[in-house]
Structure 1
Amino acid sequence: MTMLLQIVFPPTLLHAAASVFTLISMAILGFLETGGIHLQYSKFSNPARINVPSRVGMLLIYAPAFLAGLASFWLFPDGDLRFLFLKSAVTIHFFKRILEVLFVHKYSGVMGLESTIIILVTYFTLSSIMIYAQQLTQGHPEPSIDLKYPGIVLFLIGISGNFYHHYLLSKLRAKGSKDYKIPRGGLFELVICPHYLFEILGFLGISLISQTLYSFSVGLGSAMYLTCRSVVSRRWYLSKFEDFPKQVKALIPYVF
C-alpha cells in the first residue's frame, strides 16, 4: 500500500469505487471470452445476430473516444505537462485506430451491433473518466515517484508495435478475400497476438503517464481482457489449422 501511494495520486472514495468497478467489469468480459461468450467482432462474429459492416462498426467504436480526447483540449485548456501528455496519448491512440480502420485493415465480415454498442460505450466512458480523473489531480502534490516519462516511452513502443503487427495482418489477405491465414512475420513467429501484447504496453504507458488509480485500473483491466482474448484466439487457430505451430504462444513469447 505504501508503494502504491508513492506512484499514484491519492484517490477519492468515488475515484476508488469507479476504479474497482471498471477493473471488475473488464475482468468479467475477459472471463466470458474464455468461456465462449465473445464480443462479436473479427473471427468471433456471429452472422445470425444483428450486425453492421465491420468497417462501420469499428469506426463507430473508436470515434466517440477520439472525440472525447479531442474535446478535452477545449474543455480543459489549462493544466500541467502530465495532463497534456495524457490528453495527447488518449487522442493519439484512438486517432491511430481510426486511421487503421480507414487505410490499413481489411475486413472479411460483420460486427455484432450489440457488441459495437458495448465497446463504443466502454471506450468512450474509460477515456472520458480517465481524462476527468486527471483534471481532478490539478493543483495536488505529485506522486513521489514520477513515471510519466517512462510512460511516454512505453506508450510509443506500444502504439508502434501494435501498428506494425496490424500492418502485417492486413498483408495476409488479398483484396476481396475473406479467408483467414496463420499470421507470419514480426512477433507472430512467437505469439499469435503480438498486436494485443503491444496494446497492453500502450495502455500501461498511458497508466504511467497519468498515475491515477483509475488509469491503472484501465490498464490492468485491458490487460486482463486482452490476455483472455489472446487465449481464445490461439484456441481458434489450433482448431482451424492443422499446421498451426504448437510452439507459438498466445501473448508472451516463450512463456504464455
Structure 2
Amino acid sequence: MGSQCKENVMLFLSWGLIILGIAYWKVQRKEVARYGRYRSQSFISKTLIPAKVGWFLQEMPSFVVPMLLIYQSNSLDNLGNKLLLLLFCGHYFQRTLIYGCLTRGRAVEINFVVKSFIVCSWNGYLQGHSLLYCTKYDDRWLTDFRFLFGLMLFILGTTINIHSDHLLRKLRKPGEATYKIPRGGLFDYVSVANYFGEIVEWFGYSIATWTFPAFAFALFTALGLASRALHHHRFYVEKFQEYPKSRKALIPFLL
C-alpha cells in the first residue's frame, strides 16, 4: 500500500457504490432480496449458515480492512481523522462482534454472505483510504458546525439503531423464529426503526467527514434500506390485522 491518495480510485469506487445502490433499489422495487424473512424455502440446508456466523463474516471486513490500513500507514496523526475513522470502525466493531453474537435471526444463504463480504471489503477500503490519505482536517474542524452537527446525527442514529435492535431481539425467545409486531421506541412510529437509525447515522457521518466517499456510502445505505423497509412494512400490514394504521414504513409521519 502506497502512502499517496488514490483520487481516481476513490472516485471510481464512490460512484460505483452509488450506482450499485441505485441498481439494488430498482431490483428491490420489483422483488425483495431473498434473505431473512423472505428467504426462499427451496434452498437445501447445506447452502445456509447460522445467522451469528453469517453476520460476523459479512460485516467483519468493514472493521478489519480500515484497521489494516491504519496499521500499514502508521501515519494517523491528525485528531480529526482519528475520531472520524474511530466512528466508522466503532460501528462495525459493534455490528460484527456484538450484534453478530446477539442476533436471533434466521440462517442466511452463503451467496448473500459472500456478496455482503465483498461490498463491506470495498467500502472498508474506500472509507479507510479516503480518511487516511485523501482528507486532512486542521484543529478548527473539531469546532466546525458540519463536524458537530454530523457527530450529533451519528450518535443519535447509532442510539436509535442499537436500541431498536434490542427491542427486536426481545420479541423472540432463544430458538424462536416467529415474527411479532415490534413496539416501543421509534417502532411506535415506523415499521423499521433500526433502518431509520442506521440511515441517520451514516448521513451524520457523511456530514462530519464532508467527503464524497462517505456521502456515497450514506446514499448507498439509504437506497438499500429504504427499498427493503417498504417490503417490511407491507409484510407487517398483510400479516397482522391489528397492525397500527398510523405507523409509517421508514420516516416518522412521512414515509
Same fold (TM over 0.5): yes
Q: Which residue does 2:39 correspond to in 1?
A: 45
8 A contact 2:81–2:137 mirrored in 1: no
Aligned to 1:151: 150
TM-score (norm 2): 0.87
TM-superposition CA deviations, 1:34-56 (whole Å, max 9, x none): 21140x33212223232212221
- Alignment-derived partner of residue 56 in structure 1: 53
1:131-150 equivalences under 5 Å are 131-138=128-135, 147-150=146-149
Deviations 1:134-177 (CA, angstroms, capped at 9, x unpaired) = 2232458999x762232222211111110000000011112221
For 1:250 and 1:146, the matched residues in 2 are separated by 31
For structure 1, which segment, 54-63 or 178-187, has the greater mean C-alpha deviation from structure 2 after superposition?
Answer: 54-63
2:240 is matched with: 241
Corresponding pairs, count: 242
2:48–2:108 Cα contact (<8 Å) kept: yes
RMSD value, Cα: 2.2
In 1, the alpha carbon distance for the partners of 2:208 and 2:159 equals 17
Q: Which has the higher helix share?
A: 2
SS in 2 for 1:147: helix
Letter of the 1:193 partner, please give it: V
Residues 148/193 of structure 1: CA separation in 2 closer, same or farther (3 Å cut): same
Structure 2 residues without counterparts, runs of 5 or longer: 1-5
Unaligned runs of 5+ in 1: 1-10
Aligned pairs for 1:48-127 within 5 A = 48-49=42-43, 50-79=47-76, 80-98=78-96, 99-103=98-102, 105-107=103-105, 109-127=106-124
Percent identity of paired positions between Structure 1 and Structure 2? 24
Q: Structure 1 CA distance, aligned partners of 2:107 and 2:174?
A: 16
- Contact kept, 8 Å, 1:22 with 1:221, in 2: the verdict is yes
2:24 aligned with 1:32: no
Name the TM-score, length of structure 1 as normaliser.
0.86
Question: Is the contact between residue 189 and residue 253 of structure 2 (CA under 8 Å) also seen in structure 1?
Answer: yes
In structure 2, the CA distance between the partners of 1:32 and 1:130, relative to structure 1 (3 Å rule), is: same
**Matched residue type, 2:251:** I
Supply the distance in 2 between the matched residues of 1:14 and 1:70 (Cα, whole angstroms). 19
Aligned match of 2:3:
none
Aligned mates of 1:12, 1:76 — CA distance in 2:
17
